[in-house]
Amino acid sequence: MIPPPHDHQPRKGSHRVSATILISPRSLTATGHPALARLQDAGYELVFTTPGQQPTSAELLQVLPGCVGYLAGVEEVGAQLLETAQTLRVISRYGVGTNNIDMAAARRLGISVCTTPGANARGVAELTMAHLLALARWVPFSDQALKAGGWQRRKGMEVCGKTLGLVGCGHVGRLVARFAIGMDMKVLAYTVRPDTTFAPSPDFRFAPLADVLCQSDVISLHCPAPGDGRAMIDAAALAAMKQGVFLINTARAELVDAAALAAALQSGKVAGAAMDVFRSEPPTGDPLVAYDRVVATPHIGGFTEESVDRMVEMAVDNLLQALGGSCN
């Protein structure tokens, strides 16, 4: 039985409520999840933001104060919000990134921040491969043209023998590398700290970023956004890439300079791009979404039954551990 998002009362037979935890990820506020019952059984009251919607700063300022725990999504969690949440002890991120959280403020205020590393890696990696093949064979374009009554065809590309460049080679990047090698691709991977024990094939090697950019037929991003706020894939990086390269971003929107990518698509330097992440979600008015050489998905990388289950279980574990288990 999935606890309904509007049910803020403890489950029957649970301990007396004495502390509150905020739940904000869109998939959890829309439908709930059985793992959340473990928090209620431990005596915590659950409060939810607006079902199925990313919460606004105003909503968070209204509901977060008074909570001891916060199971957070991708919404912005700034210093002002954290300073108002004087009882907050832990933020458990539903995912791996913390770029949406003011970590300096959290440290200053003594708020622990936990993540769920690897929980959604399989889902994101499989979506990356779906995007790669969708671009290589122009699947969305062909589908849309045919449904509009046309018979337009774009010549595709076979991926066998092509080079996939990975920017980032952690949980997701390693799975993508294995999948690509299984399709007879060569893989170059850039990462800040290469793990030389990862050597899945003679067709895989670690390389400097400059080599990945200039030698790859397809480039896929699997790393955090730079801390200084600058886009890693800017006009200079795009200029260094092969003519007609494909670019895939299932990591962080901040990694890519959107204006520079738009110019590269218009010039043909980038043949096509796929993205699952946006600076504003939903990406209202984002011109890139309308390009017929762009495959856009609504942040579904980790939105599978299996990934959601793993992320929720781990996020709940993190909350209970950080809060010391039962609140009674």
Q: Which residue has the tokens 């895939």?
A: 248
174 is catalytic: no
180 and 59 together in one domain = no
256 and 115 together in one domain = no
131 is catalytic: no
86 and 126 together in one domain = no
**Structural domain contains residue 263:** yes
Domain residues for the domain of 225 are 121-296
96 and 159 together in one domain = no
**Structural domain contains residue 142:** yes
47 and 85 together in one domain = yes
If 0-12 CB within 10 Å is exposed, 13-18 middle and 19+ buried, where does residue 92 land?
buried
Q: Which of 59, 76, 83, 281 does the annotation list as catalytic?
A: 281
pLDDT at 99: 85
Q: How many domains does the chain have?
A: 2
135 and 219 together in one domain = yes
129 and 265 together in one domain = yes
49 and 112 together in one domain = yes
**Structural domain contains residue 108:** yes
177 and 264 together in one domain = yes
**Structural domain contains residue 248:** yes
244 and 288 together in one domain = yes
**Structural domain contains residue 202:** yes
**Structural domain contains residue 310:** yes
153 and 89 together in one domain = no
Q: Which of 26, 93, 131, 252 does the annotation list as catalytic?
A: 252
134 and 109 together in one domain = no
299 is catalytic: yes
pLDDT 10s digit of each residue in the chain, 328 long? 344 444 434 333 333 446 999 999 998 999 999 999 999 999 999 999 999 999 999 999 999 999 999 999 999 999 999 999 999 999 999 988 898 899 999 999 999 999 999 999 999 999 999 999 999 999 999 999 999 999 999 999 999 999 999 999 999 999 999 999 999 999 999 999 999 999 999 999 999 999 999 999 999 999 998 888 899 999 999 999 999 999 999 999 999 999 999 999 999 999 999 999 999 888 988 999 999 999 999 999 999 999 999 999 999 999 999 999 655 4
pLDDT at 10: 36
pTM of the model: 0.86
Q: Which of 26, 93, 174, 299 does the annotation list as catalytic?
A: 299
* CATH number of the domain where residue 255 is located: 3.40.50.720
**Structural domain contains residue 279:** yes
**Structural domain contains residue 32:** yes
